[in-house]
Structure 1
Amino acid sequence: MEKTIVIEESLRNPLTPAQINAKIDASLNTKGSFNWSESTPHLLWSAIVNGNDVATVGFGNSKSNFERAKTSNNAKIQQELLAVIMKYEGTTLDKILINADADLNLMDVIITKQETVIALRQAKYIRYIEPADYSYLKVRNAALRPNESASSSSSSSGCGYESTTLAAADYTTITPNAKVPWAFTQHNIPNAWTISSGKGITIGIIDTGVSPNQSLLGTNFNNGLSSGRTIQKNGVYVDSIWPWSTTTDGVNDLCGHGTSMASAAAAPRNDRGLPVGVAYNANLVTYRAASNVVIDGYQEQEAVKKSFTALGNNANVKIISMSMGHIFSVGKIEDAIRFAYGKGKLIFCAAGTSTSFTTFVGVIFPAWMSETVAVTGVKEGTSYQACSDCHTGSKVEFTVAMQRSASGNTVPVDSYYENQTDYVGGSSVATATTAGIAALVWSKNPTWSREQVLNKMRQSANFYPNRNGSFGYGNINAFLAVQ
């Protein structure tokens, strides 16, 4: 006999966005994490209705059963769950189903009633139900005090089109006329280039896209000593407040962050006097998946999911690097990362770079996942101090020196604009740099598995065979890693 769902009178009205954020913050402060699976039905429903009534429903025969290709009854399960939603919502299929993922056991649906949330949580095949369009940051930014600004939050974090003349102390010059960032020398990357240049390895970068105005990451990707390689640019981000919009805004970087990451990982060893990337002969596949570095809201989270599944399905891609994140988990992104991991990809994610409201958070999502390798930045020198805004914690695997001890300058990269340079810092550039080192190792040992590459990188790092509680295995010696 079906159990009647009864909702207390005090729980019939949804919480306000400010109340929802307060509960999220309380969890982050006390436990260091927040997950919708641990929330009450009332909190979950409140976030759904405050986010355009959109929810993501993950399903399967078990908690680990997230892949459609490995779920023979996935269509039947989906139909059963849609029937539950239609029953409690009192409407038809065309009014509730927004999207059903082709690779993953999940769908995005419209839910307006708390009874539907409760019924779904009681259903046999549910892995999770989450708000798909609740924007934590939008609420937070609306509550900024008068002396704060949105630029102090991660809504704009990491973006900028600046070009800066590099200090002479921050680079050396190498043939044919490329600038080697000081940080590369700290990690013995120039010596590693005598053995490996990343040739034959493809790195996937999920970020804000790549500038159309920087030809070294476009038509001149093969320049100087970089040759015979490709760069493929994809755009999956939809710049719309509406979850049902599907037209992307293209492949081009409208932030600047993605361009910097692509440069650090694989910019050519050029003859133009501009910074070189770590794996200067590796291929690149880039995805514009967000407008900035925090994957908040439906369209960014959906685009990141699509990027990971596409890169997972791309047999040429060995390494995936993402220098973006969120302060709590997102089920559809977790599923997509596990999908790519299951395809043998080596996935590097940024541990996090603080903003005014995330200073109490350790390693951010998805870098805390066991399927990803968390990377953070440290200051120059042997004393191991986190960079000014970099997150640390037990989930960190590697560090990269990316902030000078005296000047505070960060890592030289190719600018958003042609023939210009810039600096970039944080755990972001540390992650892209580490992905490049992985490409050097894999290029030297093309038959190796992901685990073999990762173990060789660990063995070359400062703290190995031990692991530091905040900095993992520490700084990698790229020359030792490719020997």
Structure 2
Amino acid sequence: MRASEIWDVTKGEGTTVAVIDSGVDPISSLKGRLLPGKSFVPEKEVHSDPTGHGTTMASLIAGSGTENSLQGLAPDAKVLPLRVSDGKFSYGPTWATRLTDAIRYASASDARVINISMGMSGLDRSAVTKLQKAIDEANERGKLIFAAVGNDGRRIDGTDYPSVLPGVVAVGAVNEKATVTDLSNYGPHLVLSAPGDPGGTSQATALASATAALIWSKHPDWTNHQVLRVMIETTGMSERGEKPSMYLGHGIIRPSKVIVDGQGDPGPADKSPVFSKYFASLEASGSPSPGSDSGSGDDSRTDGRNQGSEKEAPSGPDSDRSQNAAQADDDNTTLWVTGGIAAAVLVVIAATIAVIAVRRRDRERQPRY
């Protein structure tokens, strides 16, 4: 990651990341970085985290590393905590409503990045429609939304939310060999990958969000489309001219390529590198303005991502799951676990990030870490 070189240029100052999660404890590592935020769980404080998951994500993004605490990738960024979990993980539609409200709150805030290291399957059409409208609103307001794809090691066929929805940057996890982890979900919706082994896609998503914060800190005039474009253009896979992979998306994030080396063409400010067709269809159909409750009610609209018909699951080191070997040559380079306390340690020394976390198999219709 070449973090020390990145920090010579920027540490994320002037940017805010909304962390939609289980709350964030006011630990010493986040002193001066944690904003008031809001809890969408009745009678629960936003600065209280019963699982530790939200606190870990916030620390991976902006932790100062003081007193032997977690060191974040963007240690001078601000964190806007938005709590949607009460720690019980036993609800469906209620969680979806809280997530929708939290996204809309974040879209109206100063946060430019929205981190959602969580997900759920089995939502009904009404819940998905409302969630999609909130995502559309956030995109219209110029936000970037990153969401974990989940830790089941399975192909996703359009039912895991919010990562499968247009306008959400789905993030998978890779190991220290720059190969997708066995636990990381995959599919044509995957956009980017990041370090997350041991651990999971929650941690990978937090690092992707921190990367966007770093880039925006250096280039505050760029739009959300431009920040995402350079993130995509500076992955190893993109440099080799390959199409998106079901297992790595466009490739593994490399923030130093943008911030230190000045690589990546931001391109047009008003055109998404991933969701252009989707946004064009919204404009053509007269999409609702931010804050509006009107809409088409269609949650099956397509976007501009690669929707290839690959069917085979990974089968070993010769499969697409290991096609990113060139990634390491250049750089040495959910909440998806049900219940429990997610813990992680991020140590950034020159070019290494190691993330350690606790994971358990999730259950259908439950929020998953």
1:399: which partner in 2?
193
- SS class of match (2:58): helix
For residues 391 and 295 of structure 1, do their structure 2 counterparts lie closer, same or farther at Cα, with a shift above 3 Å needed?
A: farther
Instruction: State TM-score, norm by structure 2.
Output: 0.64
The 8 Å contact of residues 175 and 181 in structure 2, kept in 1 or not, is answered as yes
Verify: 1:201 aligned to 2:5, yes or no: no
Letter in 1 for 2:12: G
Max radius of gyration: which structure?
1
For residues 362 and 291 of structure 1, do their structure 2 counterparts lie closer, same or farther at Cα, with a shift above 3 Å needed?
A: farther
Distance 2:105 2:151 in 1: 27
Distance 2:150 2:196 in 1: 14
1:216: which partner in 2?
29
1:409-463 CA-to-partner distances (Å, cap 9, x unmatched) read x3xxxxxxxxxxxxxx110000011100110000000011001111111121110
2:98: which partner in 1?
303
Distance 1:442 1:369 in 2: 24
Verify: 1:287 aligned to 2:82, yes or no: yes
In the alignment, which of 216, 221, 236 is matched to residue 40 of structure 2? 236
2:278: which partner in 1?
none
1:67: which partner in 2?
none
The 8 Å contact of residues 189 and 477 in structure 1, kept in 2 or not, is answered as no
Distance 1:392 1:303 in 2: 26
The 8 Å contact of residues 22 and 85 in structure 2, kept in 1 or not, is answered as yes
Provide runs of 4+ in structure 1 moved above 6 Å. Answer: none
- SS class of match (2:8): coil
Distance 2:40 2:190 in 1: 29
Distance 2:164 2:87 in 1: 20
In the alignment, which of 192, 199, 203 is matched to residue 6 of structure 2? 192
2:163: which partner in 1?
367
Verify: 1:451 aligned to 2:219, yes or no: no
The 8 Å contact of residues 191 and 249 in structure 2, kept in 1 or not, is answered as yes
1:257: which partner in 2?
53
2:182: which partner in 1?
388
Verify: 1:340 aligned to 2:120, yes or no: no
Letter in 2 for 1:337: I
The 8 Å contact of residues 237 and 300 in structure 1, kept in 2 or not, is answered as no
Distance 2:212 2:53 in 1: 21
The 8 Å contact of residues 254 and 291 in structure 1, kept in 2 or not, is answered as yes
- SS class of match (2:177): coil
Instruction: State TM-score, norm by structure 1.
Output: 0.49
For residues 294 and 378 of structure 1, do their structure 2 counterparts lie closer, same or farther at Cα, with a shift above 3 Å needed?
A: farther
Q: Give the deviation of 1:294 after TM superposition.
A: 6.3
The 8 Å contact of residues 154 and 186 in structure 2, kept in 1 or not, is answered as no
The 8 Å contact of residues 257 and 292 in structure 1, kept in 2 or not, is answered as no
Q: Give the deviation of 1:254 after TM superposition.
A: 1.1
Letter in 2 for 1:396: L
Distance 2:91 2:63 in 1: 29
For residues 360 and 391 of structure 1, do their structure 2 counterparts lie closer, same or farther at Cα, with a shift above 3 Å needed?
A: closer
Distance 1:374 1:190 in 2: 27
Q: Give the deviation of 1:197 after TM superposition.
A: 0.6
Q: Give the deviation of 1:190 after TM superposition.
A: 2.8
Letter in 1 for 2:92: G
Q: Give the deviation of 1:230 after TM superposition.
A: 4.9
Distance 1:196 1:477 in 2: 15
1:325-378 CA-to-partner distances (Å, cap 9, x unmatched) read 112452322221122112111000101112xxx846457311111201000111
1:211-249 CA-to-partner distances (Å, cap 9, x unmatched) read 25x2323xxx23xxxxxx5523321113xxxxxxxxx32
The 8 Å contact of residues 117 and 147 in structure 2, kept in 1 or not, is answered as yes
Distance 1:293 1:342 in 2: 33
Distance 1:293 1:191 in 2: 41
Q: Give the deviation of 1:402 after TM superposition.
A: 2.2
Q: Give the deviation of 1:305 after TM superposition.
A: 1.3
Question: How large is the Cα RMSD of the aligned pairs?
Answer: 2.1
- Unaligned runs of 5+ residues in structure 2 are 263-369
Aligned length: 251
Distance 1:430 1:295 in 2: 25
Verify: 1:441 aligned to 2:212, yes or no: no
2:247: which partner in 1?
470
Distance 2:14 2:75 in 1: 11
Q: Give the deviation of 1:253 after TM superposition.
A: 0.9
For residues 473 and 204 of structure 1, do their structure 2 counterparts lie closer, same or farther at Cα, with a shift above 3 Å needed?
A: same
Letter in 1 for 2:58: A
Q: How does 1:154-193 map to 2 (within 5 A)?
A: 187-193=1-7
1:78-97 CA-to-partner distances (Å, cap 9, x unmatched) read xxxxxxxxxxxxxxxxxxxx
Q: Give the deviation of 1:210 after TM superposition.
A: 0.9
Q: Give the deviation of 1:401 after TM superposition.
A: 2.2
Distance 2:70 2:28 in 1: 13
Distance 1:433 1:400 in 2: 7
Letter in 1 for 2:212: A
Q: Give the deviation of 1:188 after TM superposition.
A: 2.7
Letter in 2 for 1:340: A
